[in-house]
Structure 1
Amino acid sequence: MALPIALALGITLLTGPNPGQPEPDVYQVATEPPRLLLRPQRLRLLQRERQRQSMRWEHFDALVRGGARLPEPGFALALHYQVTRNAESGKRALTWALGPGEDLRQLALVLDWCRPLSGPQETAALLGRIERALAALRSEQTVPAVRSRVLAAVAMADERPQLAAAELREVVQHWWRGMIVPGLKQGRPIPRADHYALLEMMHVLRDNLYLDLREDAPWFFKELPLYQLMSYYPASYPAPENEYRIPASASAQPDLVAAMLSRAAELAMVAYEPNAQETQYLQGWVMQDRFCMRHPLGITYEFLWANPYHPGLTYHGLPLVLYDKNFGRLFLRSSWEEEAEWLGCFDGIRQRFAGGRPLVLGAEAAGSIFRVGEAVVVVVDKQMRFHIAEPAGPVFLAGLKPETCYDVEVDEEEMRQECSDKGGLLALPAGSWRGIRLRPSPR
C-alpha cells in the first residue's frame, strides 16, 4: 500500500490545497498578549533591569511611584504594571483609559498590557472607546495616526478579529505599499518627526504578522540611521534633567519634545535591528549617560527601548557628508565633535551652525562659498558665476531651481550638462575648482 499512498501524497503536493478550504489570512493576529512592543524577550530584559536596579529603571519607577505628572499616563502606568505586576499601577492606567483618556495609541497599550486586571465590563467599555477613536482617525493618513490605528487593531484582535485584519490589510497594502513607498521613490521623505511612530508600527507588524516594512524600501531604511545622526546640530543642549541633541528644523529653535522623540526613534531602531552595522553605530551614539532621558515624557521611552548591554561602534569614523539626491537634502559636518562646523540643506531651507547656534542662510547668502571640513557649498547667485580658489573634496551648488538642467563650464574642462535635484542642489565632481559658470540648458 506504500505506492498508492505515495502517489496520493504526490498528487496533493502538485495540485496544492483543497480549493474548498479557505486561505489563511496573513493579517489575522494569532500571537499571545502582550502583543504591543513587549514581546517576551523585551519584557524579560525590562524585568531584569528592575532586578538589577538599573539607572533607567530607578528613575522611571521613582516617577511612577512618586505620583509625578506623567505626560502619557496610560503608556507609563501600563508599562510599569507589566514590569512589576503591581496592580495599583495597572488600575491607575485603566482608570485613565476609562476616564480622561482619548489618545488611541495609549488606549490600545492599556487594553493590551492591562488585560489581566480588566473585567468584562471594563474591557467592553475600553473596546468601545477604541472603536470610536479608530473610526475618527480612519481618514487621517499621517504616520502617527496610522501607527495608532495599527496598535488599536492588534490590541482588539481577540474581540474584533475581522475588524482588526481589515484595518491591518488596509494599512499595509493601501497606505504603506500604495502611498508611502511610491512617495519615497518619488522623493517625498517621511518627516523626521514621524520616525518614532513609524518604528513603533514596524515593531508591532513584525512581532505579530511577521511583516517587515523595510523590504519594500530597503535603500531608505539603510540610510536612515546616518540621516538621524547627520541631521542634528553639533552642540548639545543643556536642560535641568539631562542634555539633549537637537534635530535640525525650519525654526532653528530647540524643541525638546522633538529631541526626545528623535532619541526614542534611534533606541527603537537599534532594538529593531541590533546587528546591522549602521545601527551598531547608532547604538554607540545613544549609549552616553548624559543624554539618558530623565524627563517624565522621555523616561518611559528610554526605559522601554534602551539596551545598555548591546555593544555599539564608535560613530567618529562615520562619513561627514550625507547627500541624498532623491530627497534633495544635504548635511555636512567638519567632525563628530560638538564644536564641529555644520551645514544643512533640507525642506527647502539652508542653515549653518556657527558660534554655538544655527543660522538660517537666506537671500543674503547668495554668492557665498562655505567650506565645511573638506566639502564646499556654493550658494549660487543670479550671475551663476563663482570661483573656488583651491581644490576641495565634494562640491555642492545650492540655491538652484529644483529639477532643472544646466550647462556647467569649468575652467580648463569641457562644458557638460548637470541637473539639480528636488531641493535645488547640484553635486559637482569632487575636487572641482577654479572658475565655474552655469546657464540653464536649452530645452
Structure 2
Amino acid sequence: MTITTPDVAQRRELKTPVPGPRSQELAARRAAVVAGGVSSTLPVYAARAAGGIIEDVDGNTLIDLGSGIAVTTVGNANPRVVANVQQQVADITHTCFMVTPYEGYVAVAEKLAELTPGDHAKKSALFNSGAEAVENAVKIARYATGRQAIVAVDHAYHGRTNLTMALTAKAMPYKKGFGPFASDIYRVPTSYPFRDPDGMTGEEAAQRAITMAEKAVGADQIAAFLIEPIQGEGGFIAPAPGFLGAIAEWCSANGIVFIADEVQSGFARTGNWFAVDHEGVVPDLVTTAKGIAGGLPLAAVTGRAEIMDSVHPGGLGGTYGGNPVACAAALGSIASMEQDGLLDRARHIEDVATAKLREIAAKTPAIGDIRGRGAMLAVEIVKPGTKEPDAALTAAVAKRCHEQGVVILTCGTFGNVIRLLPPLVISDDLLLEGLGVLGDAFAELA
C-alpha cells in the first residue's frame, strides 16, 4: 500500500494578505450555507497541513501553535496515523461495535488500561467526543454510587451538550440562551494561583472547595467530583501543588467518584501521559478525546473495572463510538507518542517556549502570568500593575499574530489568556519564530 502524506514546506510564508482571495471566496460561500453560530478563529481555509505548518487555499503557510485545539498532538497527517487509517479504510469503515465487534476497539481499550494512572484493573468505553465522554462518565458515576449530585469547579469547561453545558462555568458563548440545564450540578472554587489570596496552598484551596461541597450538598449525596487537572477553556489554570491530591483523598474517604477530565490535557500534551501524573494522583475515572487519535473523532471513559462494570449491559454505547477507523488512528497516534519520544519532546517545548515567553514578559508589563506544563502553556494578560483582565489587548494581539501567519488561540473566563498548543513535532526554529511574532505583537500593541 502506498502511504500518502502532504509535502508541506516547514516554513512560514505569506503569498497574499490574510485572508487571501480564495479564502474570501470560500467565506462568501460559507455565509450562505453554514449556520452563523458556528464561528472560526482565523479567516483562512486550510488546504493541507503537516508537522508544525498549516497551508491555506491561497498557498500561505502558517505556523501552527494551536493543533486544532490540542488534537493534532502528533502532527497533522502523522505517517503512522495515515498508514493505519488507509489500511483500515480498505478493510472495514464501520460495523458498529454493538453489532459486530472488531479488534481495534479492544486494542485501544488495552492501551488505555496500560497508560492511564494507577495499576488497578481498568476498563473503557469508547465514544466520539469529549462532551460524550464526560456525559458518560457522569452516567457511570451516578449508576455506580446510587447518588445524583455532581460537583464541578469554577472556570470549568466540559462540553456543549445539555449536561456538559451545566458543568461548564462560562456563560458566553457556551451557555447563553440554551437553558434550562441538567439539575443536581454544584460548583465550588478551584485553585487558581494567580488569582487566589497570596500564599494560599493547594491543600488550603482544596479545603475551601471541600467545605463548600459539604455544606452546600453533603458528601453523602455526591456521586462525583469532576475536574480538569489543568483547565482548558477556563484559562490553562494549573492548580497549586497538593490541591488535586487533597480532593482525591476526600473523594476516596467519602465514596465519591473522582473524575479527571483529561480531554485537552491528556496524551503527552503536558510532558506526561496525563496531567494528573504530575501530582501522582490516581482518578477513579478518566475522560479522554482530542489528542488520542491524531485528528479523527474518538473519546473514552477509562476507569476502575468495578465502577465501569456497574452499568447494566446496553447502558453504554453509541452507533459510532469506537469507530474502527478512529481506533486505527488512535493506535497510530499512541505508537508515535511512544516510539518518537514525544513526552520528552513536550518537556523540551516547555523549556524552550517558557524561556522565550519570560523574555517577552520582561518587556511587557501587560503579561501578568506565564503558566502551564509541557506544550500546554498560557500567557494571562492584564492592565499593567494590576490583575484586571485585558480582553481587548488579548484579542488584538491574537489578531495581529493571525495576520502575520501564526495560529494562536485565546481562552479564559475573562477572555484574557493566550494559549499555546503546538504539535509536539514542531521544530524549535518554527516554535521560536512563532513566539517571536507573538513578542512583536506585544511590542507593537501593548
Bin the TM-score by the shorter chain: under 0.3
> Which has a greater percent of helix?
1
TM-score in terms of structure 1 length: 0.25
Larger Rg belongs to: 1
TM-score in terms of structure 2 length: 0.25
